[in-house]
Each structure stands twice: as C-alpha cells, then as structure tokens.
Structure 1
C-alpha cells in the first residue's frame, strides 16, 4: 500500500485547517449579520426593480411609488414582510377612501379642509398608539396616505379620485412584488427565529426558577427583568407567524398557554426567593430542605421522563405543605407550608412549559396526552394602553400639521402642499416614540445622503441610460448599500431617508424629465417639512421620560387598588398586563439614566400585592364569622393606600401588617381547606408588602 508523501499530508492538513477556519469565520455573529443584511438588500432591490418594471409596463404615471412601497414593506423575515404588506394595503385603501371623501367636499374652505385632514391623521395616530401590535401599522398608513394624497390634491381637487386610485395601484404592485420575492426567493421563515427565541426564553425561565432556590437576589432580579422583555419580544414575533411560509407554524392557543405560565412564573419565583431567604434553608435534613434540593436538581437536569419526576415532586410538595400546615406551631412552619405549595405550583408550570414546547410544531393536531397542571383557559399577552398619552400625541400631531397649513395658506407657497404632506408623514410615522426627534434627525441625515445621490443620478447618470437593464445596473450600488443599512437596527431610519428619497428625486417616473427647478423645489419642501416636523414634535409630541415612567407606576398603583376592591378579576390578564408595563419601563429607565432596579422591583411588588389581594377578595363570601369582615376591611385599607398618588409610608405598612395579623388570628389554625387557602394568601400579601420578610428571631431581614 502506497502512503502519500509527507508534503501531501501537510498540504491536506493545511487545506482542511484553512477551510475549517473559513467556515468558523463565516459562522461568527458579525459575519452572519452581514450576510443576512446583504441577502435582504439583494432581495429588496430585486423586488423594487420588478415592481418598477411592472408599473412601467402597465403605464402608471408615478411608478417610483412602487419602489418606495417595496422598501417600506420589506422586512428581514418572510412572514413579517407579508403581514406588513397586508397592513399597508388595508391602511392605504382606507386612507385613500377618506381622502376622496374629504378633499372634494371641503376644498372651497381651505381652513376647514386642513382641520378635517389633520383631524383624520391625528385620529389614525391615536388608534395606532392604542393598538400597540404590528396591526397598528394599518392605522399609521391610513393617516399618512391621506396626508400624501390629500394636501397636494387641494390645488387640483377634481383629480383626487384618479390620484388616489393610481396611488393604490402603485402601492399594491410594490406590496405584491415584495411579498413574492421575500416569500419564494431564499425565504427566511420567522418560525425558526421564534422557536429559537422561545427555547432560549424557557431555558432562562428554568435558570430563574433554580436561582430562586439559592441566595442570588441580584442575578434573580436581572433574570426577571430580562424575562419581561423576552415575553414582549416573543409576542411581537408571534403576531407575524400566521403569515409565515413555514410548513408548520406554532398554534396560537399553545403560545398563549406558554405565555400565561411564564407570566405567572415571574412573580412566583420572587415569592419563593423571599420564603427561602426567610427560612434560611441550607443543609438541614428536614423534609422541606430535602424537597428544595431535589427540586433544584430537577430544574438543572435536561432529561425528559414524561413527567414522572415532576409528578413525584409535586406530590411530595403537597404532602409537605399539608403536614407543615397541620403541625404549624410557629410562624416559620406556616411559611414552610406556604413555600411547599409554591414549589408545587412552580414545578407544574415548568413541566407544562416543557410539554407545550414539545407539542408546539407537531404535525398532528391531537389533544394533550395528559392534562396540564396550570389553567386550561389561555389568555395570552395583554398590552398596557394609555388613552390619555395616545390622545396627547394625536393632539400634538394635529397642532403641528395645522401650524404647517397656516404657514402654507398664509404665504401661498406653491410647494406648501408637498411640504405639509411630508410633515403629516413625519408626525404620524414617528409619533409612536416618546422622544421622536432623535429618530427624525437620523432620517434627515439619510435624506441628505439621498438628495446628494439623487442629484448625481438625475443630472449625470440617468440622462445616459437608454435601456432598463442598464438602469437596473446603475441603480444597484446605491440601493444595495441603503438596503443593507436598512437591515441593521441602528441605521434603519437613516436608510429610510435614502431609499425613500432617491426614487422620488431621481426622476424615476414613466419618462425622464430632468427638471432641476422642480427637483430643487422638492428638496426645499422636503427639508423644510422634516425640519419643521422635528421642531413641532419636540414641542407637542415629546413625552419627558420621567412623565412616562410615573404614568406607568401610577397606573399600576391604581390597578392594585381596583384589584383589592374586586375589579380586574382575571389573574392571567393582571399578570400579563403588569409584565408588559415592566417591559415598557426597562428602556425608559435606561434613557432616564436612573438606577431602575428599585422602580422595577416596585412594579413586581405591585403585581404580587394585586395577585394576593384579588384572590383574597374572592375568599370573602366563603369566609364565615368576623374573619370575612376583617378581610374586607384589610382590602379596603389596601385600596385606599394604593389609590392615592403618594408612596406608602412606614406607618401605612405597620397598619396593614397589624390588620393582616388580626385577620390571621381570626382565621384560626387553618385546618379548614378554605381558611388554609386564605392564610396562604395573607402570607403572600405580607411578603409582597415587605412586612413578612423577618428572620426567625424577629429581626429585619434587610
């Protein structure tokens, strides 16, 4: 047998090493991001050129709107691109209908026409801010479509129907081309991205549950905050799943069941952490300590046993709960029973999440092989909505647009209609940010680049183009570069300034015009409108970050009071709503520059207090004797303490703690099942208020 020479062996090993190094380099996150951005840019450019070609072939007068639509609709995943296209079509159609109904009937009274158009745009912004789902994009489009068509049509109201009809056709072609290219040319399904994020979130949830059984409060705090953001991210991704081209997409009800369990797990781990710290569970040999150790080991394992270990641990926890509750001779025994009950609930939630994840994308649609441990009714994600803040932003939008209209009418500026239409787009498009000006500035920077590139194209390159293939070739560098920027979150708005400016200013109409005066007037109108929009939004639509934070905290406090009085009875709704508020607080606290840990802990504490108070309210009709009346008085005192706009004082906490002590004494030994449940809730309330975390010797636990 001939052996290869040593030189050949070394060369083979070197080639293999180089190949492996190259593959490892291509798999790095930075290279993957670059590759995804390049692919997105190439597909978007192909869709834009296809839409432009189709618009030219059927004789549409302004085919550049098809190009603009492609870049507005295109997203990095196929499902998001299709859903965004559907919402854009719906919003464009509604906005066009509204414009046709408004402009011809009120064009003889410019002031009234401006007020009605501005009112419509503000109303659309109001509903988009209330919706807070990707569907809100339809309301945004309904608003700024009316702005784009309505204000320029004031000078020619008789043609408004034709203008609206043509605009809808151009936009529909752009939507269709973007959807086809992103769905069928190297599609990037969102289902894989979603399931990957869900798996990571579930791993984080198990880590949070395991850490709750140890003395790691700072790590637990960070994990709980991250879980709140993860749930918001998952909800945003899940909205696009019905439009995804994947063969099997997760079922909506299953996703809602997983969300409900994770939402309950977040405050439950805080409850367990407090009990473990209170009891000082360490290396003892009692049943509760052994149970905690076994639960921690089960959480750390990744093996699946069809739920046998989980069922056994839940049985042990219920047994320890019953035994500790029956033999409760000291406050620590009753807290130990409470901890055992919470451990049983946590095990059930984690096991449910594992089983639901395994069945998430199953090709068969059978019923669950075994019943779930948690609630069977699926609630799903609940969004916090603030009508007052939405109305404030809408009113600021209306004031800004009317200010622009006043200047246009007063000065009789020929390009005023174009400027005000762009102003309406800015006020609507950026109106969902607390501080929109930084994003507008990014858009202005992109527009500057777009204008410079457009001038080069319009008067140096395009006059030399004689065929469509050559046109595609000369447009490719600018659009491919801008498209790659659009795929990266930090430069998305700057890229929009480029991709939305080049088609309009470069003269990509049905025929080349090359009118420098027209281009210059459009550029002046563009920057005047965007600049005025930045000033207007800074004055009328900017919400100070401290105001936004305080409104979220005030809403949480008011809802705690409502829960104590029997309002908002649905537990899953309450937990999900408070988690959404936590997710909204996180970026605002970072923007404020404040240490947000205490504020976020307050939100979690409000969630726990509201949960315990709401559950206690349900026990009052079944509690006989003075205990029921005392429970009602306790909850009324909580409602009073949390419905006023001031922090709870130490005196308030002492009063509430004394009331809890009185109710627990009236409940007796808790031998009755109903009273035992009420005592557990009183313990939960005590720990949530911060009055139950004392050591066994009675000293504060810090």
Structure 2
C-alpha cells in the first residue's frame, strides 16, 4: 500500500485567502464603528468581490462602484414613484434588471461588471422594501455604504499583499499559449493529423481572447499603456495566425500521406520542424536561429512531383509550415518585448482586435432574467411569505451571477448543494461558538479558521464555484449585527429564504434558460457562416483583420459549446477551424481579382459567388450543408486558369488559396486534371 500523500499548501492560494480575510476584518471593524445596519452584507460583498481568476482589482473597483451608484439611483427613482402600483413597480425593476444583464452578456469585457452590479444592487435594494417604500432612502444609503466599504477594503488589501500588474498575467498567458500551441503544432506536423484538435483549440482560442480582456486593465497600472496595448494587439493578431496555419499544413500533409506523395525533402522538413517545436528551451537565441533557418527552407520550392496537383499540395504544405514558424517566432519576440517602453512594432499589425457578439443570446439572457424576477415576486405575493423579499433578493443575486451561461441550471444545482453543506457550520458558530465571543478582535479570531478555509477554496480554480454559496450561507445565516442575536426561528427562516431563492431560481432556470448546447452552438455557427457569406461577396467591403479576430473568438465559443453538448446533432460535424481556413483563403482571392486577366478573374468570381450561396444557406439553416460538386468544378477551372499565368505575387497567393479551399471543402475528391504550370 502506498504511503499517504503529505498535506500540501499552495502559498499563492493561502496568500489570496489571507488577503481576503484581512479585508473582511477591516470591513467588519468599519461597519461596527459606523453602526452600519447590516455588517454581514458588507462582509459578504468582500468575498463576492474577491475573485482571483477574474483579473485586476483596480479597474474593477471603478466598474463596481459605478454600477452600485447606478443601481442605487435607479432604486431611488423607481420605488417611491411607483409605490402605489406594485405590479408596475415589479415590472419596471424586472425590465431594468433584464436590460442590465443583456448589456453585461453583450459587453464581454470587464466593463460588464458595471452592468452586473447595477442590476444586482438595484434588485437587492428595492425588492426587500417593495411593501415598505418609505424607508427606501435610508436603506439605499446603508446598502451603498456597506458595499462601497467592502469593495474598497478588499481592493486595498489585495493591492497591499498581492500587488498585481496587468502585464504579468498577459506575459504568462502568452507563454502558456505558445507552449501549448508548439505542442499542438508538433503533433499536427509530425502526424499530419488534427484529431485531438477540439480540446486544444478551445483552450488556445480562449487564451487569445483572455489576453485582450486582461489588456483592458493596462491604463490603470501601466504608464506606457498605449504602447503596451499596441504590442498586445499585435501579439493577439500573431497568435490567431498559428492555429489555422498549423491545421492547414496538417490538412495538406494528410492528403499527401494518403497518396504517398510527400517526398523525402518535405518529410525531412516535417521531422526538423517537429523536433524544433518540441525543444525544451523555446525562445532562446539558438532556438530562434533554428526556426528562422527552417522558415527559409520551407520557402524554397519543394521537389516537383509527377502530378501538378501533388506539386500544388507540396507547395501549399511547405508554405503553411513556413508561415506557421514565422508566426511563432514573431509571437515569441512580441512576448519578450511586452512591458518595454518603446518596442519596435513597425512590422506588426496593431489595429483593434474585435470580439464576436451575439445580440440574440444577450437579449434572451435579459428577457429570461426579467421573466424570472417577475415570477419570483408573483410567488412571493401569492404565498404572502414574510421572508419572500429575502427570497427575491437571493434569487436576483443568483440570476445575475450566472446569467451569461447558456444553461445555468447545473451550476445553480451545485450552488444549492454547497449551501446545504454549509448550514451545519453556520449553526455551530451561531449557537455554540459566538455566544462565548465578545468584541471585534475575538470575533475576527474566531471566524478566521472558517473564512480562511473558504477563501483557500475560492482561490482554487477547480473548486472556486463552491466558495460563493459557502460564504453566502455561512455569513447570511449568522446575520452579524452590532449585538449578538442567536434566534433559532430567525436562523431557520433565513435559511429557508436562501434555499427558497435558490430552488425558485433553479426551477425558473429550467423553464426559461435550460437550452441545449446544440441551440447556442447553432446560433454561433450560423453567425459565423453568415459573416463568411458577406466576406466572399465582392459587392461588400471587408476588413480582413476584424473578421479574423471575430472568427478566432467564435472558434473558442464553438469548441466550448461542443464540449458541453451531450447529444449528437446536425452541427456536431461542423469544423470551425476549417471554416476559419476557408475564410482566410477567401481574402487572397478577393485581393487578386484586380490583378489577373479577365478570364481568370471570371473564374475566381464564379468560385466566390458559389461560396456566398453555400455559406448563406448554411447560415439560414444552421446546418453544415455539403457543398455542391459544381463548386469543386469551379475551383478546378480557376486553378487551371491561374496555372496558365506567369508566376507573380497575387497569382501565387490566389493559387495557394484555391488549393486550400479545395482541400477543406472537398477533402475526399479525386485529384483535379491540371496542366503543369508554365
């Protein structure tokens, strides 16, 4: 039998928990000294705010405080004026909360905290006092003071014990991405296969988006923020190049392996790149010099084969491998240059990196939140439950916290179980330990074991979802006041209100929000296909960089939803990375149109017109329809037309794009009948 593993403590997690505990102790001291009516609310806000995996504190304190202010103003404006019309009051507050949640889901940046806090604060201020609007002003002031004190304390404590600079996690995330991408590329090149792609692509695409999210914090802690943000945008653009280039190379190599046409020089290049990608000291000078040599070698014309199509596949594979190596090297240089005052960005793209936003999903989240809140209040009024206002407040808290998820029900179910497990601990403290405690110091000392343990769990990404319900149950159930009150009836009533709010939220979520991952997956895919149709339409202008950024972002969303999909559906076979490669191939074809003769331009136009129709139909039906054989014939005709032209830049780019498009859309088609290039 193996000996038991020793107890290990992660210092970073412990430091985070200790920082939160110090913030909680200071918050309680201020709340007691200022005689705030609900110190427990301030204490809970400390732990709701302290989210270690969500980024910086300094910018978020601005968003959160602004959101609290907006929510408080809304409550003061609505509740007194509609106190004689309870139904209309509930309708207006539900609509306001739904609008804020829709904006939070749509924003997809740290600014979403502003909308989330506006929704949450207005709900918790107004709902408990719908039947007593006369005290709304005093209540609003007290809630704002409690939440503001907590947010400021937790920000100060974490800034003191955990000084955080945005550039550090960006650099760490970029290095992690490059290490994972190198391993992924090595497998793709060596085996000519991307079978393990979904799990990798979800993580890699999410990393590219997360780097941009963290970069939004730079103006708050970096004196060279404009230059650094330009470098980060350049880094994002380079990172988005790596995945499609590596998968395109693997696609061509797989086709060559099937036909036995890879050839010795290309096989040697593959082996050299696979060894280079697996090097343990990636990023040092020798590694960079070796990568530059491999990129130059890939740029040379490969050994000609017996068939023109084989030659085109070899050229395409070598070109994509060389471009992939170049993108990796450029990304490594940018990562090393992050934080420099004057990095040289003259050879990089530094334009914006827009994200894909789905207005439909955001509207659905807002409508579902509004409908859920109206149902909560209807149940509360019909049952005439004295604790119903607390139920509505807890329900609003949970609804706002998980509104951005496609199906919040499983998370809310785990929230309920964690709450139930925390009640015995709360009862132990309230009826056994706290009656023997006197004074702030002894109270803080007594709470330390429980709060530090829960804070440690909160710092663990694998268990952080358990922390919020544990804090909520433990803190709210004890109801810290300026004077101890161990009332068993109040304890039970408060516990039932919490459980009732969670159960009601879970039931409403099952009715309004529990959509299969297939539904949201179809929406994202349809949006991607519709945008690809617009990209291929020569009558429409296009910004290649914007589309590439949104397509990469959607790729991460699609992979995440495919991982959550438990049932087979018509979109399971969809390949977002193949769509990204096809879209990237559209761009050089459109760019070559003004530079080729009329006959070749006509052939390329036919290909683009058929692509427009294909992706428009996919976008309308939400299914990955098979392309018509006529499109394959049009691609072959365009290839033949370009092969008759003299080699030059635009012709070569369009030729490589057509090869890639044929490989992605018709991987099983027989080789085309082509004449050798002049």
Q: Report the TM-score range of the alignment, normalised by the length of the smaller protein.
A: 0.7 to 0.9
Superposition pairs of residues 173-572 of structure 1, within 5 angstroms: 173-185=149-161, 187=163, 192-218=168-194, 221=197, 223-239=200-216, 251-280=228-257, 284=263, 295=273, 299=277, 302=282, 303-304=284-285, 313-320=294-301, 330-362=308-340, 365-368=341-344, 372=347, 375-380=348-353, 382-566=354-538, 569-572=542-545
CA distance in 2, matches of 1:243, 1:75: 18
Q: 1:575 aligns with which of 548, 564, 567?
A: 548
Q: 1:618 aligns with which of 574, 586, 591?
A: 591
Superposition pairs of residues 59-74 of structure 1, within 5 angstroms: 59-74=35-50
Paired residue secondary structure (1:251): helix
Q: 2:610 aligns with which of 629, 637, 652?
A: 637
| Counterparts in 2 of 1:182 and 1:600: CA distance versus 1, 3 Å | farther
CA deviations on 1:58-107 (whole Å, 9 max, x unpaired) are 23222222211111111337953444433322221111111111111111
| Counterparts in 2 of 1:164 and 1:349: CA distance versus 1, 3 Å | same
> What is residue 110 of structure 1 aligned with on the other side?
86
CA distance in 2, matches of 1:529, 1:290: 64
Alpha-carbon shift at residue 201 of structure 1 (Å): 1.8
CA distance in 1, matches of 2:519, 2:487: 48
| Counterparts in 2 of 1:67 and 1:568: CA distance versus 1, 3 Å | farther
The answer as to whether partners of 2:426 and 2:478 remain within 8 angstroms in 1 is yes
CA deviations on 1:448-504 (whole Å, 9 max, x unpaired) are 344443344334433333222111122223222322222233443432222123333
Residue 29 (structure 2) pairs with residue 53 (structure 1): yes
Residue 636 (structure 2) pairs with residue 661 (structure 1): yes
CA deviations on 1:532-552 (whole Å, 9 max, x unpaired) are 111011101222122122222
The answer as to whether partners of 1:128 and 1:140 remain within 8 angstroms in 2 is yes
Which stretch of structure 1 is more off in the superposition, 566-575 or 605-614?
566-575
CA deviations on 1:18-71 (whole Å, 9 max, x unpaired) are xxxxxxx98xxx8354x4333332221221011110122123222222211111
Q: Which runs of 5+ in 1 are unaligned?
A: 1-24
Which stretch of structure 1 is more off in the superposition, 393-402 or 331-340?
331-340
CA distance in 2, matches of 1:576, 1:597: 26
The answer as to whether partners of 1:415 and 1:522 remain within 8 angstroms in 2 is yes
CA distance in 2, matches of 1:345, 1:596: 35
| Counterparts in 2 of 1:477 and 1:646: CA distance versus 1, 3 Å | closer
The answer as to whether partners of 2:416 and 2:499 remain within 8 angstroms in 1 is yes
| Counterparts in 2 of 1:525 and 1:79: CA distance versus 1, 3 Å | closer
What is the TM-score when the length of structure 1 is the normalising length? 0.84
The answer as to whether partners of 2:205 and 2:556 remain within 8 angstroms in 1 is yes
> What is residue 120 of structure 2 aligned with on the other side?
144
The answer as to whether partners of 2:570 and 2:623 remain within 8 angstroms in 1 is no
Alpha-carbon shift at residue 224 of structure 1 (Å): 4.2
CA distance in 2, matches of 1:213, 1:199: 21
| Counterparts in 2 of 1:568 and 1:345: CA distance versus 1, 3 Å | farther
Which stretch of structure 1 is more off in the superposition, 605-614 or 239-248?
239-248
| Counterparts in 2 of 1:418 and 1:294: CA distance versus 1, 3 Å | closer
CA deviations on 1:268-296 (whole Å, 9 max, x unpaired) are 1122123333445889565x566556555
The answer as to whether partners of 1:120 and 1:143 remain within 8 angstroms in 2 is yes
Paired residue secondary structure (1:217): coil
| Counterparts in 2 of 1:543 and 1:597: CA distance versus 1, 3 Å | closer
Alpha-carbon shift at residue 148 of structure 1 (Å): 0.3
Alpha-carbon shift at residue 242 of structure 1 (Å): 5.7
How well do the aligned residues superpose, as a CA RMSD in angstroms?
3.5
Alpha-carbon shift at residue 559 of structure 1 (Å): 2.2
Q: Which runs of 5+ in 2 are unaligned?
A: none
Paired residue secondary structure (2:36): coil
| Counterparts in 2 of 1:643 and 1:137: CA distance versus 1, 3 Å | same
CA distance in 1, matches of 2:311, 2:390: 74
| Counterparts in 2 of 1:32 and 1:425: CA distance versus 1, 3 Å | same
| Counterparts in 2 of 1:246 and 1:516: CA distance versus 1, 3 Å | farther
CA distance in 2, matches of 1:213, 1:597: 30
| Counterparts in 2 of 1:469 and 1:377: CA distance versus 1, 3 Å | closer
The answer as to whether partners of 2:536 and 2:586 remain within 8 angstroms in 1 is yes
Which stretch of structure 1 is more off in the superposition, 229-238 or 141-150?
229-238
The number of aligned residues is 659
Paired residue secondary structure (1:489): coil
The answer as to whether partners of 2:42 and 2:146 remain within 8 angstroms in 1 is yes
The answer as to whether partners of 1:561 and 1:638 remain within 8 angstroms in 2 is yes
The answer as to whether partners of 2:588 and 2:653 remain within 8 angstroms in 1 is no
Higher Cα Rg, which structure = 1
| Counterparts in 2 of 1:515 and 1:343: CA distance versus 1, 3 Å | closer
CA distance in 2, matches of 1:488, 1:568: 47
CA distance in 2, matches of 1:668, 1:400: 62
What is the TM-score when the length of structure 2 is the normalising length? 0.87
> What is residue 602 of structure 1 aligned with on the other side?
575
CA deviations on 1:369-403 (whole Å, 9 max, x unpaired) are x853xx423443x4332221221222121111111
Which stretch of structure 1 is more off in the superposition, 299-308 or 684-693?
299-308
